[in-house]
């Protein structure tokens, strides 16, 4: 048989009962004295009524003094729970415990009000930023239902927010974007446009539940602008080189044609003709070298990687240099997967530049060996370095500018080609002046 549940006496009733119990001994003593002494019945009942009225009145007052502040605090906490932070308790006095509690609740309301205002301002700023940026932003919940969208995303889907919010990604033709690689380039057609799109997907949590943030940016316009700039730079470079060669060719050809049309030619006209044709041939050969260099840069094949012993590769390259001795700085035995032919070409160019920049052997007390080449192993990286004792680099900004050179017979393509080979291997090529001493150091870093 189940035990009946005892009814719980409310707190205010318990306070009232305790107040009655506290006055019960005094009331009982008073009643006993009234009935034991020789009083008139009228006096007995009058005094008894006054005692009972005072007894119950003060008990009720004690209950109100306890329950009213508790009700006030309950109302304040209810307002806080419902998000109303404007309600305050009046008469909060920190000189007493109850007033101290009221003051703390008032301060808590003020803090929560400031935080809510800051959150609203931050949310408004975030929405403004989302509306102004030119990338489409979608937020999906765990069920792949659209929960947030900005203005650009609405234009991409060609529908307003009120029609697409709450719809699954499959209906918006975005389900494939929520799967696969998180960052990739898409070539597809959306209702709001077609072209190439950069897509990035990240995850976040809201209310403890997983969500996905999808960002789609239009790459067509930036690519077209970069392509236009690249063509403009190419036309300027080629036009400059063509003008440098064609202008003297045109001038000399015109002078030779004028000389041949004269009825009376000077005695040394054949020598002038031969000199002019030699200049035309030299300029034509220079123009041909320029075009071959550009074709070589544009048609660089992808590296064919095979295991290669680095020490043997450097010794083989250094042995090709006959103008001056190049010192080998030995490193650890290391075999790396790379295209040996392309890396040899890079090291040959770097050694050649170092030898040409280094002072002549024996000049003004300089050491016999002014160029050093070696390799070392760094965390996850192979570094091949070539350093010289020359004057260093005057201007490092134009090192990798195509067709820029300070050498009379240079093509300005060597370092550009070397850097492209390094980047095709996933590495990097840097040139900088040495610290505290004269000279330059080139570093070719390749991933191991």
CATH no. of 306-447: 3.30.565.10
Mean pLDDT, rounded, of the chain:
79
Check residue 362 and give its pLDDT.
44
Show me where the domains of the chain are located.
11-81, 133-218, 223-298, 306-447
Check residue 196 and give its pLDDT.
81
CATH class as words, domain 133-218: alpha beta
285 confidence band (pLDDT: 50, 70, 90): confident
Q: Please determine, for residue 152, whether its predicted confidence score (pLDDT) is greater than 90.
A: no
- Mean pLDDT over 291-297 rounds to 64
Q: Tell me 427's DSSP state.
A: -
The tens digit of pLDDT for each residue in 104-142 reads: 888 888 888 888 888 778 777 777 777 777 888 899 998
401 confidence band (pLDDT: 50, 70, 90): low
What burial letters (b/e) apply to 324-356, b meaning 16+ CB within 10 Å?
Answer: bebeeeebeeeebebbbebbbbbbbbbbbbbbe
Check residue 399 and give its pLDDT.
64
Fold match, 133-218 / 306-447: no
What is the per-residue DSSP string for 29-43? HHHHHHHHS---HHH
Check residue 383 and give its pLDDT.
92
235 confidence band (pLDDT: 50, 70, 90): low
Check residue 385 and give its pLDDT.
93
Contact 164, 154 (CB under 8 A): yes
Q: Please determine, for residue 342, whether its predicted confidence score (pLDDT) is greater than 80.
A: yes
Percentage, residues of the chain above pLDDT 70: 83
Q: Please determine, for residue 26, whether its predicted confidence score (pLDDT) is greater than 60.
A: yes
Check residue 224 and give its pLDDT.
67
Check residue 413 and give its pLDDT.
62
Q: Tell me 282's DSSP state.
A: H
Pairing outcome for strands 428-433 and 371-378:
unpaired
- Mean pLDDT over 94-108 rounds to 79
Contact 148, 137 (CB under 8 A): yes
Q: Which residue has the higher pLDDT, 241 or 430?
A: 430
Torsion of CA 90, 91, 94, 96, to 10 degrees: -120
Check residue 96 and give its pLDDT.
75
- Mean pLDDT over 358-365 rounds to 54
- Mean pLDDT over 54-58 rounds to 86
Measured distance CA(165)–CA(159) in Å, rounded: 10
Check residue 384 and give its pLDDT.
92
Using alpha carbons, select from 324, 309, 340 the residue that is nearest to residue 372.
324
- pTM assigned to the model: 0.42
Beta bridge partners of 445: 383, 428
- For the ranges 69-78, 89-98, 246-255, 425-434, which has the lowest average pLDDT? 89-98
Check residue 64 and give its pLDDT.
83
Q: Please determine, for residue 398, whether its predicted confidence score (pLDDT) is greater than 90.
A: no
Highest-confidence segment of 33-47, 401-415, 421-435: 421-435
Please tell me whether residue 167 adopts helix, strand or coil conformation.
Answer: coil
- Residue 360: CB atoms within 10 A of its CB come to 10
Q: Which residue has the higher pLDDT, 220 or 42?
A: 42
Contact 155, 192 (CB under 8 A): yes
Q: Please determine, for residue 88, whether its predicted confidence score (pLDDT) is greater than 60.
A: yes
363 confidence band (pLDDT: 50, 70, 90): very low
């Amino acid at each position: 048989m189940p035990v009946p549940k005892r009814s719980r006496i409310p707190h205010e009733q318990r306070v009232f009962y305790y107040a009655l119990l506290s006055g019960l001994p005094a009331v009982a003593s008073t009643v006993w004295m009234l009935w034991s002494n020789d009083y008139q019945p009228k006096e007995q009942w009058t005094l008894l009524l006054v005692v009972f009225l005072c007894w119950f009145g003060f008990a009720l007052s004690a209950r109100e003094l306890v329950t009213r502040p508790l009700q006030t605090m309950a109302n304040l906490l209810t307002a806080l729970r419902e998000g109303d932070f404007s309600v305050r308790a009046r008469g909060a006095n920190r000189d007493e415990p109850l007033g101290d509690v009221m003051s703390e609740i008032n301060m808590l309301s003020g803090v929560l009000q400031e935080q809510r205002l800051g959150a609203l301002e931050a949310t408004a700023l975030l929405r403004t930023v989302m509306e102004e940026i030119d990338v489409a932003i979608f937020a999906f919940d765990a069920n792949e239902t659209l929960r947030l969208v900005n203005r650009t995303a609405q234009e991409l889907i060609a529908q307003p927010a009120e029609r697409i919010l709450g719809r699954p990604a499959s209906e918006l033709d975005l389900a494939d974007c929520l799967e696969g690689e998180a960052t990739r380039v898409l070539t597809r057609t959306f209702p709001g446009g077609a072209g190439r799109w950069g897509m990035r997907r990240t995850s976040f949590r809201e209310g403890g539940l997983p969500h996905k943030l999808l960002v789609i940016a239009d790459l067509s316009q930036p690519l077209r602008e970069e392509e236009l700039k690249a063509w403009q730079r190419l036309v300027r470079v080629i036009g400059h080189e063509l003008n440098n060669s064609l202008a003297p060719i045109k001038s000399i050809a015109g002078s030779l044609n004028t000389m041949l049309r004269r009825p009376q030619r000077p005695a040394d006209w054949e020598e002038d003709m031969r000199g002019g044709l030699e200049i035309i041939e030299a300029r034509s050969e220079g123009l041909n070298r320029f075009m071959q260099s550009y074709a070589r840069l544009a048609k660089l094949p992808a590296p064919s990687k095979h295991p290669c012993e680095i020490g043997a590769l450097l010794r083989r390259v250094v042995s090709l240099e006959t103008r001056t001795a190049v010192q080998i700085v030995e490193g650890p035995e290391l075999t790396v997967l790379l295209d040996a032919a392309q890396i040899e070409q890079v090291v040959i160019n770097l050694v050649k530049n170092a030898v040409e920049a280094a002072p002549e052997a024996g000049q003004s007390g300089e050491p016999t060996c002014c160029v050093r080449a070696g390799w070392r192993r760094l965390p996850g990286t192979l570094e091949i370095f070539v350093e010289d004792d020359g004057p260093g680099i005057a201007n490092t900004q134009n090192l990798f500018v195509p067709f820029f050179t300070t050498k009379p017979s240079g093509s300005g393509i060597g370092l550009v080609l070397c850097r492209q080979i390094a980047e095709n291997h996933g590495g990097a090529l840097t040139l900088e002046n040495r610290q505290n001493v004269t000279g330059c150091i080139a570093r070719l870093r390749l991933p191991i």
